Every structure is written in structure tokens, then in C-alpha cells.
Amino acid sequence: MQQEMLPLFTSVDLFAGCGGLTRGLEDSGFRCLAFNEINKDAANSFSLNFPDAIRLDGDIRESVSNEIIETQILPVAGENGVDLVCGGPPCQGFSGIGHRRSFDVEKADIPTNHLFQEMIRVINKIQPKAFLFENVQGLLSSKWTKKGVNGEIFRDVWKAFSSIKGYVAQPTLIHAYGFGVPQNRPRVMIMGIREDLVKSLKIVPTNFDPDVPSDKFQKQLRDNGGFFPKWHGSTAPTIPEAISDLEYDDWKEDEIYHRLPPNSNFQKTMRRKLGRVFKKQKITDHIVSNHSKKVRDRFQYMIDHSVTNIRNLPENMKTKKFSQKLLPKDWGDGNPTITCCSNSDDYVHYSMPRALSVREWARLQTFPDHHLFSGPRTTGGVRRAGNPDKGIWDREVPKYTQIGNAVPPFLGKAIGKNLVEIFFSDSK
């Protein structure tokens, strides 16, 4: 039976990273026309996977100027224009990790924290059918200065996006585990849809009151439907269901193919574009860190004694790391608790005394095995986080961080499918 063709819509991805959101959008029927990313390694990753997208490297203010939009993006969009402008502007200091590493500088003084205004400029210039802003959950409670009011940043961001002329906007707090992602990964999103589409299709956005205290935001926004897909509990596989076919630690770069067959539906999905014969399915990025005996002994102790966090280790085994967690084999109450991974040893394998490989971490973010990554595996903490106290804003973005920063493709696909239904309804 011939497979039904998906309707094809177009997108422009800003602050695109390694392409997690675009990967999900592509799987739901979108084609990326152009992308912007300031970091070379992340941009290289994106281009490896979406080579037909126009690459607009560098600071968005220059690389996606109004002139470039007119001369490079709009001409390839054709008469129908761009269907979706999406992006996740940098969130330095908004996430939980960011709070611990925000130094003494005020968030108002971090230049990248104002780049959402540039995204609005691009939206106004392109005039897509819809736009999608995404960011970390910590945005909901963040304040511009230490003397500021909790939630003031999100209120400003919401006011800016909801004031874009010609669009109806709605925010949400969406959890990736509700869409088959084997981790918790909450994301704050704001979607805007052109007023004429909202009226003609009778789409009803869910109301949001920004004047309530910020600690009430989550209750208003979580799984609030409207422009966004709803979920019903967790549909996430367990960690073993996600990565048990990668349960070995002696892989080398010259080993081309998977050793083991997939043993879960999730693993089959991750390999779906690698061919049917598992011995000919290619694998990349499964190198694991060469831990010292002391580190491996500590990890083995965590496994043997079910120590979920290094802070609960005996005093003689504790390290200076503020967090290092043992991956669970089961979710327990059904709510995955993994949130992010930006370093090679943030998480310990559930049965082997080692950290995760890049490929394993990509699996937990639902990047399929054919998605490629460019750049170093990891790098030092300061080089990865920058040093705002000294005015150092540039940050290295190794593979682990690229993946950790990304929107999980499964979540992107769910968002995309919801939009496709809206757009396809309009074309009938």
C-alpha cells in the first residue's frame, strides 16, 4: 500500500542549535527553508542533517537582517510565504543550571537575554502563518534584577509576543514525557497564529492571565491545550527501553555498524531510516569516557546501592560536582525526572559504571540514530558556560550541550502535527 504523502509546509528556524525542533517538524510535514545559529559547531550539526536549508551563521541582527530576509528567505518561500518561524532565543541564567552559574551579573545585563526582540523583528518582517517561541521552564519565575519581581521576565516576553500585530498568541508549559520522550523536559512555549486563520478556522486559544503571581503560572499553563496538543499521562519508554541496545563501552570510531538488534519499539523507531538489517545499520558517537578506577568504583557503588545522586554518597566518595545522577531503570510513579544534560558525566548509566555516550544521550532526547553531530564531545565548565562577571558571553557548544539544549524531536513532531492539522484545514 502506498504511504500517504504528508502535506508540506515551510519553516525558518532561529537560534536553531543542532536541529532538534526542525527534526521533529520535518517528521510532521515541514521543510526548513533557512536557519540561523551563532555557534559554528551547532550550525555544522544542523547543516549535516538539513543540507538544503539556507545557512545564516552568526549574530541574528546581522545574519538575519531585514535585507537578508528580503533577498534570501522570502524569494525561496514563493507565493505562499513562510508557514512557521520558530526559535528558542538563548536563556542564559533562566534554567535551574543557569541559576547556579549566573555569577553576580544581573539578567538584564546579559545581552543574549534580550534576543527575543530580534525574533519578533524577524516575525514582523516575514509575516508567517504562525510563530513558535520556546524556552526553559525557569523563564516563568525569572526576574531581570535581584530586586525585581519574580516572573517579570516572562511577563515582558509574553507582552512582546502577544502584541505582535495581526496575530493571536497563547503560551503553554508542555512536558516532553507526554509525547514519548524518555525524560521530563518541560518547555515554555508561546505560539502565535495569524488572526485571519484563527477566525476562519474558529480556533480557540486558552486564556492566560499574566497578572497572577508567578507561582500560579504553572497551574495556568501546564497542558492547557488550545493551540497546543494535550497529553494524557506519560507515554515515555523506560531508560533500558531507550538505550539497552547500546549497552557496551568499547565502541571505536572505526566500528561502523550496530552490534545488537533493537529490542523495543522505541529502539526500532530510532533506527527506522538505517535499513532493515540491523548488522548494516550504521552507528555514530558511541564513544564513552575513559574513567579512572576511582570514578568507576564510585559509579559502581551508586549502581549497587541505588544511590540516585552523588550528594547522597558516603563522605569519602563525594566530589566537587554539584550534581551527578544515576539513571533509573524504571520511572517509579510514572513521571520521568531527567531534565537536561550538558556535560558528559551528568548522568551515570543504570547498569554500567560509566557516563552516557553522545548517542545514548541523543536517544534520551529522541534524536534518531541517523541524526549527526559536529564538534567536540565535551569541554570545560567555564568554556561551556561563559563568564558573565568578566563580560565573556561566548560559549563553546560541544555535542553533549547541543543535545541538552535542544527541543526533543518527538516534542517538536507533536507541535508540528498540531500545526499541520490547522494549516491543512485551511487548505481544504
Confidence of residue 132 (pLDDT cuts 50, 70, 90): very high
What range does the domain containing 148 cover? 9-235+408-427
The pLDDT value given to residue 109:
81
Averaged pLDDT for residues 268-279: 96
Residue with cell 502565535: 192
The count of domains in the chain is 2
**Does residue 157 sit within a domain?**
yes
Q: Note the pLDDT tens digit of each residue in 33-56.
A: 999 999 999 999 999 999 999 999
**Does residue 393 sit within a domain?**
no
Coil/strand/helix, residue 99: helix
CA dist 251 → 245, 257, 259, 266, 377 (Å): 13, 10, 10, 22, 15
Query: Is-contact 185 236, C-beta < 8 A?
Result: no
**Does residue 399 sit within a domain?**
no
Please give the grid coordinates belonging to residue 224: 492547557
Q: Taking the alpha carbons of 284, 22, 9, 82 in that order, is the dihedral positive or negative?
A: negative
Q: Are residues 90 and 26 in the same domain?
A: yes
The pLDDT value given to residue 396:
82
Q: Are residues 118 and 243 in the same domain?
A: no
Which DSSP symbol is given to 404?
Answer: H
Query: Is-contact 36 63, C-beta < 8 A?
Result: yes
> Is 91 a catalytic site residue?
yes
**Does residue 194 sit within a domain?**
yes
Q: Are residues 325 and 420 in the same domain?
A: no
Question: Which residues pair with residue 10 across a beta bridge?
Answer: 31
Please give the grid coordinates belonging to residue 267: 529502539
Is the confidence at residue 256, as pLDDT, over 50? yes
Task: With CA atoms as reference, report the closest residue to 118 among 89, 76, 159, 154.
Answer: 89
Query: Is-contact 193 227, C-beta < 8 A?
Result: yes
Distance CA 422, CA 428 (A): 10
Q: Are residues 220 and 292 in the same domain?
A: no
Residue with cell 492547557: 224
Confidence of residue 202 (pLDDT cuts 50, 70, 90): confident
Is the confidence at residue 379, as pLDDT, over 90? no
Q: Are residues 109 and 193 in the same domain?
A: yes
**Does residue 396 sit within a domain?**
no
Distance CA 174, CA 218 (A): 10
Among the residue ranges 173-177, 230-234, 366-370, 396-400, the one predicted with the least confidence is 230-234
Is the confidence at residue 188, as pLDDT, over 50? yes
Helix (H) or strand (E) holding 133: strand 130-136
Q: Where are the beta strands (DSSP E) in 176-305?
A: 186-194
**Does residue 89 sit within a domain?**
yes
CATH number at residue 276: 3.90.120
Q: Are residues 178 and 275 in the same domain?
A: no
Specify the pTM. Answer: 0.91
Is the confidence at residue 100, as pLDDT, over 70? no
Q: Are residues 53 and 176 in the same domain?
A: yes
**Does residue 4 sit within a domain?**
no
Confidence of residue 60 (pLDDT cuts 50, 70, 90): very high
Distance CA 418, CA 28 (A): 9
Q: Are residues 46 and 187 in the same domain?
A: yes
The pLDDT value given to residue 99:
41
Q: Encode 134-196 in three state secondary structure.
A: EEEHHHHHCCCCCCCCCCHHHHHHHHHHHCCCCEEEEEEEEEHHHHCCCCCCEEEEEEEEEHH
Averaged pLDDT for residues 154-175: 97
Q: Are residues 227 and 245 in the same domain?
A: no
**Does residue 403 sit within a domain?**
no
The pLDDT value given to residue 105:
81
Q: Are residues 255 and 179 in the same domain?
A: no
Question: Which residues pair with residue 257 across a beta bridge?
Answer: 282
How much is the mean pLDDT over the chain? Answer: 89
Which DSSP symbol is given to 205?
Answer: P
Q: Are residues 217 and 258 in the same domain?
A: no
Q: From the candidates 18, 32, 86, 91, which is the catalytic residue?
A: 91
CATH number at residue 110: 3.40.50.150
- Say how many CA atoms lie within 13 Å of 89 toward its Cβ: 24
Q: Are residues 93 and 208 in the same domain?
A: yes
Distance CA 51, CA 372 (A): 12
Query: Is-contact 85 125, C-beta < 8 A?
Result: no
Among the residue ranges 30-34, 218-222, 389-393, the one predicted with the least confidence is 389-393
Q: Note the pLDDT tens digit of each residue in 228-246.
A: 999 887 789 999 999 999 9
Task: With CA atoms as reference, report the closest residue to 394 among 112, 97, 73.
Answer: 112
